[in-house]
Structure formats: C-alpha cells, structure tokens
Chains A and B, each alone.
Chain A
Amino acid sequence: MGDGRANNPNSHSNNNSSSNKPEWLEEYDVIGKIGEGTYGLVFLAKVKSNRSKPIAIKKFKQSKDGDGVSPTAIREIMLLREISHENVVKLANVHINHADMSLYLAFDYAEHDLYEIIRHHRDKVNQAINPYTVKSLLWQLLNGLNYLHSNWIVHRDLKPSNILVMGDGEEQGVVKIADFGLARIYQAPLKPLSENGVVVTIWYRAPELLLGAKHYTSAVDMWAVGCIFAELLTLKPLFQGQEVKGTINPFQLDQLDKIFKVLGHPTQEKWPTLVNLPHWQSDLQHIQGHKYETAGLYNVVHLSPKNPAYDLLSKMLEYDPQKRLTAAQALEHEYFRMEPLPGCNALVPPQPGEKVVNYPTRPVDTSTDIVGTISLQPSQPVSSGNSVSGAMSGSHVMQTRSMPRSMPMVGIQRMQPPGIPAYNLSQAGMGGGINPGNIPMPRGVAPQAHQQHQMRRKESGMGMTGYPPQPKSRRF
C-alpha cells in the first residue's frame, strides 16, 4: 500500500477462484491468532521477504448480509491512511479477499500493551512500575495524542489495551496509540457515540459524557489519559464503575458515583456549564441528592498533593472539560522536567543497574486460520460459501512460537477456547471442549483440550477494538 507494491492497478490477484487463499497472503507467514474483539480477529504474521519484521493483521468480521465493509473499518482506514507519527500505530498495508469479501489491515506489530504491562506488575511481579517507565509511557502517550488532537482527531476510546508498546527491536519501548475504529475528525461537532449504537468502556469515560454532553471534544481523551496515568501508578483502574448494560442512555450512575467518591462532588463554581448537561438536570435526586466526602485523589494514588505527578494527574482529571489540561500543556508540565527524565525506550531505563522487567510476549493461538474463520460463528448465518472450506486450509500455520505459558484466570471473559465464539462463552466455559451448538467444525479450528487452559483470549490485541472485559468479571 502506498508503495504501489501491493496495489498494482492491473492486478486482479484476488479473483482466482481455484483457491480460497488470496494471493497477497503468500507474502506472509501467518503464525497464529493473537487477539479477538467485536470487530474481528487479529493475527500475528511475518513478512516472508523480511522475517525480522512481525506484522499484526487485523481481520474485520465479514459484514452481515447487505452491509458491505463496516463503517468502522472504513473510518479506521480513512484516518490511518492520513496520519503518521512515531507514537501512533503504523498501518503497513491493507488487503482484501474478494472471494469472501473480507478486509484485512496489516500493522507493524507491537508485543506489549498497557493492559498487559499493568497486569504483569499487579498479578505476577507484585511490584509497582518503575517511575521512569511510567513517566516515559505517559509522555509518549501524550506526544501521540498531541499529534492527533492538533490534527483535529479525537480518539474516543483510549484505554490501557489500546496503548501498545513495542517489544524487542529498533523501536523497543516506544508507545503506539492504536485502534482508531471510533476515532473521528471533529471539524464538525461529533454526535454522541450512543447515537451510532456504539458502546465503549465506561471506566475511562469523561464525566461530561456520562452526564449526557452532546458533543465530543479532545478533552474526553485527556480524561482517559488521567485515568490511565493513575492506573500506571497504582496498577488498579481508578474508577471501576458497574456498567448498566443494554441502554443507549449515556448516563451511568455507578460510574459517576465512583468518580465523585474520589474527586468530590462537582460544583457549578468549578464547572459552570455543568448545569446545562442533560443528566445533571434530569437526575437531581440521584446525583445532586447524594453528598460526597471531600476529595481524596491523593490518597487513592498514594501521592503527596505537593508531588508534581499529583499536580499533573489532578489537572487531567479536572471536571470542567474547558479547564482540563490539553495534551500540549501536559507535555510542558514540570513532572516531565524532573528526574527521571522520560525516554524513548520506556521499558529500559537509561541508568545502568536499574532492573529491567521482562514482560511476557503475547500468547499465540496457532489453531485458528486467518482465512474463513469468522463466519463460523454459529449465531451468525454463514454468509459466504467460501468461509468453511477456507478454514480447512489451516496447515500453513506454523508453530514457531512457544506455546503461551499458563496464565492465571482473570475472569472467564478473558478465557476462551480457540474456535468457540464469544457468544457461547458461558457454555464454553463450563463445557470445556464440547461443541455447544453442535456446529460442524473444520479441523483447523476445533478446540484442543490441551490448549484450553493455556489459551487466554486477548480482548484487544494490536490495533484491535475490543470491548473491555466486563467490570463484573474482573477480580483484582
């Protein structure tokens, strides 16, 4: 893409009907599945011509009959094709399989993400993240965000699993903001996500949105960065509200309650436009009736109010979106001018003698084939005759990576035997290797008993929009 190599105008490479495997796939050695989300699957692959360069291939779910390419995919491609920044994920290529009308985005692969890094420290090494690493991660995240915002792009779905960090190699320890499925150019006011029927995690959602603000601004991303900063410091999500499901109403009382408990009650003096927000007005009884104790953010993050880190954090978590710190302002903050200074390799501190944490690599499920896996989902009618037979050609999958080490279960939502779709999770979780819907499964994707307890379903891999794990199912 872009270099003309993969998009030879005269090539009709994908029209070859004798095989279900599109020709472009020959460029890659597909290693296995590394992620799964609402919009599809993510695979790890290597470019045959350059084996040292791993690639994450995001396969979009084939659309339901009659919808064509999903608007989410269109917007993600549209934005990614225009942007270029060291702290934003790089779209390396786009591919189409015309035979089954599926679309693939190829990204430079990032081995880690903040979700896994935080989890590793919390559950494995039981130790805070090195201050140099926290600061470097935050600085780079803000640097990427500043680029996006100065180009009038709001991400709208920042959360730890969407913030990737490069593993070994030239770009080791470099942060890459990923997942632009919900991102928008805001030259025109943006409609609330709920109007598009989109649901995103509420833990990182700004209070103005929870109170029904009609339009998005870049300040919503800064709130999310504040939440992520606190999580890097404490290894715990800052505001873990219980989500009310199945409503398009953005009002989430429990999430607001969690925020108010830590930051205190917002007031009109501090936030003048507060009274104009729909849910502030309509839900007087719940939100305005309850009186909260005085603010205790510094207690939650264990920082002295005089600490510059605390000052920066509290300015990102400012209630009034107009007063909230911008990414550009945050980069200028005193915190980043103090030792340890942020660096471009966030994972390896420049000082010799500092302990380097070895983060685990992403588990790879080598039993799922890249071609024709998605329409196997039983709850979705198989729309393309090619998909099932396509999945049979799974023999090229290589077992070059060691099997993932066994991971402690964080919650059943994150565990999934390969080949069994999320829809059947409850049954799959209980039934082990059984095939709940009695769906005929091709060899390549059949669940394998020995893998089930090792395989961990990644909600959100490289560049992948995934729903966050349900708060209920997370235990910390």
Chain B
Amino acid sequence: MAANFWTSSHYKQLLDPEEVDVVHPLDKERGITLEDFKLIKLHMSNYIARLAQNVKVRQRVVATAITYMRRVYVRRSMSEYDPRLVAPSCLYLASKAEESTVQARLLVFYIKKLYSDEKYRFEIKEILEMEMKILEALNYYLVVFHPYRALSQLLQDAGMNDATQLTWGLVNDTYKMDLILLHPPHLITLACIYIASVLKDKENTAWFEELRVDMNVVKNIAMEILDFYDSHKLITDDRVNAAMSKLAK
C-alpha cells in the first residue's frame, strides 16, 4: 500500500504494452495514429514539466501529473478529453495529491504566458471541471510510486554517486514514455542505472547480479529507453504540430 508497492493500487494497475498502445476509436476517426498518440502524450508531458517549472513544484509532482495524464488516455479519448486541458488539470490534481497545492488561477496565468495559441487557453472553471473528470477517469486511484524514491540509495549502493545527475535526468526522460504504466518503478530506476553504468563505463555486472531482480526485464526497459532516444532525434515541431492539428477544438 502506501509504503508497500506490491500491495498498492499502482502495482495492481500495471498494464501490458498492448493495453496502453491503443488509439481510442473516436480518435482514430479523426485520423490519429498510434504514432500521433504517442507524440501528443510526449508533447503533453513536456508541457506539464514546463508549466510545473513556472509554478515551481517538485519533480515528484510533475511525475505524478504525467502518470495521471497517461492513465487517463488508457481509458478516455483525446477527442473528448482535450489534452491541452487535461495536462494542466493533471498537474493541478497532482499538486494536491502530493501536498503542494497550486492555485488554478496561477496555472491559467502561466498557460497564457507559455502559449499564445488560443487552443491552449482555458478558464479556471474548465480546469476545475476537468479535475473531477480526471478523478473519475482514474477511478480515484491517486497514489503513484516513482523511480526517484529508490534512486539515491541504489546509486550509493552501486558506488555511483558521481552519476546522480545523469541518472536523475534519465529517470526524468522515462516520463516521456509510458514506462510508468508498464513496469514497477524500481525496475525503471535500475534500467536507468544500467544505462548510466554503460555510459560511464562502469563495470557493474556483479552488483546487478546480487540484486534479486530479473535482469532481462531491466535490460529490456533499458533498450526501450535507448530506442526512445534514437527516435526522439527524429521528432520535429512540425510532426508534433501535425499530430496536434488532428485534435479539434
């Protein structure tokens, strides 16, 4: 539960990739492909992070908000739940759940500052209404475990304190994917440490072997992250805009 991941709702809700990579029929009708779907979620993750920077909340709030947003789109369509409204509303809800409440009017203020585009403009009332719809879409499961929790302890144990910043950055980037919906967070942590070990040329095989975890899963997650970095180079603003333009307002 609250302290034990294995009895938590988060663990019980972990999904298979086939369940996450499904474009809602209503979105398909608008020509949104699986690629578009992923791009929009990536774009919205970045949006949440930027907005969070402006209103000054901790990374954990960002991570929870992005998790909420990604969970919403497992069940709901982007056509009915406009991502441009869902993203700030998830940040709003996450700020409450993580005990660092941000005022809705502050969000509205910074949204205006960040985007001149009319399509991003929403009123306070719309955020509040969406907050309730998100609660419903999440089926009221709000506790999220994050890979950050075990990070510093594991790094220290692996003798990799010098790689803290690098690994932290890697963990941040995993929220640009759906990994948090698919894998237990500590395995995501280990995958990031694994990548950091490779990048830093640190021989860690023995240390990983001593952990009683399935290294195949860790390596697979690491591969997914590296694949993402490869494909991320090809993502241009134009592609994002093209995907976003398929959302009507």
Which A residues have a C-beta under 8 Å from some C-beta of B?
A: 1-2, 7, 9, 63, 66-69, 71, 74-75, 77-79, 81-83, 94, 96, 98, 101, 103, 150-153, 184-185, 187
Question: What's the Cα separation between A103 and B9 when bound, in Å?
Answer: 21
Question: Hey, which chain A residues are within 8 Å of B8, CB to CB?
Answer: 82
- Cβ–Cβ < 8 Å partners of A9 in chain B: 75-76, 137
Q: Which of A81, A150, A187 has the most CB of B within 10 A?
A: A81
Contact partners of A151 in chain B: CB under 8 A:
1-4
Which residue of A66, A74, A83 is within 8 Å of B97 (Cβ)?
Answer: A74
Does chain A have a CB within 8 A of B170? no
B103 touches A66 (CB 8 A): yes
- Interface majority SS (helix, strand, loop, mixed), chain A: loop
User: Please, could you name 29 A-B residue pairs with CB atoms under 8 Å apart, sorted by A?
Assistant: A1-B139, A1-B140, A2-B139, A66-B124, A67-B128, A68-B92, A68-B131, A71-B96, A74-B96, A74-B142, A75-B96, A77-B135, A77-B140, A77-B142, A78-B97, A79-B143, A82-B8, A94-B135, A94-B140, A98-B129, A98-B132, A98-B133, A151-B2, A153-B2, A184-B99, A185-B143, A187-B2, A187-B3, A187-B149
Assembly CA distance A82 to B8 (angstroms): 6
Q: By the criterion CB–CB under 8 Å, are A81 and B143 in contact?
A: yes
Closest A residue to B125 by beta carbon equals A66
Give A144 Cβ to nearest chain B Cβ, in Å: 14
Chain B positions 1-19 with a Cβ under 8 Å from a chain A Cβ:
1-4, 8-9
Q: Please report whether the interface of chain B is mostly helix, strand, loop or mixed according to DSSP.
A: helix
Closest chain A residue, CB of each to CB of B141: A81
- Asked whether, in the complex, the Cβ of B131 is within 8 Å of the Cβ of A152, the reply is no
Most A C-beta atoms less than 10 A away, residue of B93, B127, B140, B141: B140
Q: How many A-B residue pairs have CB under 8 A?
A: 87
Contact with B1, one of A1, A2, A67, A83 (Cβ below 8 angstroms): A83
The interface residues of chain A lying within 8 Å CB-to-CB of B30 are none
Nearest CB on A from B21, distance (A): 18
B96 touches A69 (CB 8 A): yes
**How far is A151 from B127 in the complex, measured between Cα atoms in Å?**
33
Is the pair A96, B142 in contact by a Cβ cutoff of 8 Å?
A: no
Bound-complex Cα distance A35 to B93 (A): 28
Interface flag for B202 (CB, 8 Å) = no
Which A residues are in CB contact (< 8 Å) with B1? 82-83, 151
What 7 additional pairs, Cβ within 8 angstroms, besides A69-B135, A78-B97? A68-B128, A74-B93, A81-B143, A96-B135, A103-B132, A150-B3, A152-B2
Interface presence of B166 (CB below 8 A): no
The 10 closest A-B pairs by CB, nearest first: A152-B3, A78-B142, A185-B2, A68-B128, A71-B96, A82-B1, A74-B96, A151-B1, A9-B75, A94-B140
Instruction: Enumerate chain B residues within 8 angstroms of A98, measured Cβ to Cβ.
Output: 129, 132-133
Complex contacts, B141 vs chain A, CB 8 Å: 81
- For residue A395, give the distance in angstroms from its CB to the closest CB of chain B: 27
- Where the two chains meet, the residues of B that have a C-beta atom closer than 8 Å to any C-beta of A are 1-4, 8-9, 75-76, 92-93, 96-97, 99, 101, 103-105, 124, 127-129, 131-133, 135-137, 139-143, 149
- How far does the Cβ of B95 sit from chain A's closest Cβ, in whole Å? 9
Residue of A nearest to B103 (CB): A66
Known: A66-B103, A69-B96, A78-B97. A7 touches B2 (CB 8 A): no
Tell me, rounded to whole Å, the shortest Cβ–Cβ distance linking B60 to chain A: 9
Q: What are the residues of chain A within 8 A of B97 when measuring CB–CB?
A: 74-75, 78
Residue of B nearest to A152 (CB): B3
* CB <8 Å contact, A69 and B132: yes
Contacts of A79 in B (CB 8 A): 2, 143
Q: Are B3 and A185 in contact (CB under 8 A)?
A: yes
Known contacts: A2-B139, A82-B8. The answer to whether A71 contacts B3 by CB under 8 A is no
In the bound assembly, the distance between CA atoms of A78 and B131 in angstroms comes to: 14
Chain A residue with the shortest CB-CB distance to B149: A187
Separation of A101 and B133 alpha carbons in the complex (Å): 10
The minimal Cβ–Cβ distance linking A391 to chain B, given in whole angstroms, is: 21
State in angstroms the CA–CA spacing of A81 and B136 once bound together: 13
Contact B96 A7 (CB under 8 A): no
Chain B residues, Cβ within 8 Å of A103:
132, 135
Closest to A98 in B: B132
Determine the residue in chain A with the shortest Cβ distance to B131. Answer: A68
- Residues A78 and B101 in contact in the complex (CB < 8 Å), given A66-B124, A185-B2, A185-B3: no
Which residues of B sit under 8 angstroms from A185, Cβ to Cβ? 2-3, 143
Question: How far in angstroms is the closest Cβ of chain A from B58?
Answer: 10
Also in contact, A101 and B129, with CB within 8 A (given A151-B4, A152-B3): yes
